[in-house]
Amino acid sequence: MDKLVALYVRGQLELQDAVKRLSEPREGQGLVEYILIIAVISLVIVAAGLAMRNEISAAFTAVTTALTNGVNNNAAP
């Protein structure tokens, strides 16, 4: 029984240490890496938007036309 209690206490202490390590603020290299990842993802999104601007514009135009025609068709009895 004592071994079981000792194992339980050891597990609790290990868990507390792990939570403490995870909750400590990370600085330096890790923060810079996250910023670089976000910057690269942002650039990819902007580049994709610029490359597909005609298709995006056409899609919005089609939706606007469909909504306008739907509203106009439903308004006239």
Would you state the pLDDT for residue 75?
Answer: 58
Cα separation of 50 and 59, whole Å? 15
Would you state the pLDDT for residue 14?
Answer: 84
Cα separation of 18 and 15, whole Å? 5
Cα separation of 75 and 67, whole Å? 12
Cα separation of 64 and 60, whole Å? 6
| Domain range annotation of the chain | 2-75
Dump pLDDT digits (tens) for 22-32: 777 666 667 78
How much is the pTM?
A: 0.44
Residue 76 has pLDDT above 60, yes or no: no
Would you state the pLDDT for residue 26?
Answer: 63
Residue 12 has pLDDT above 70, yes or no: yes
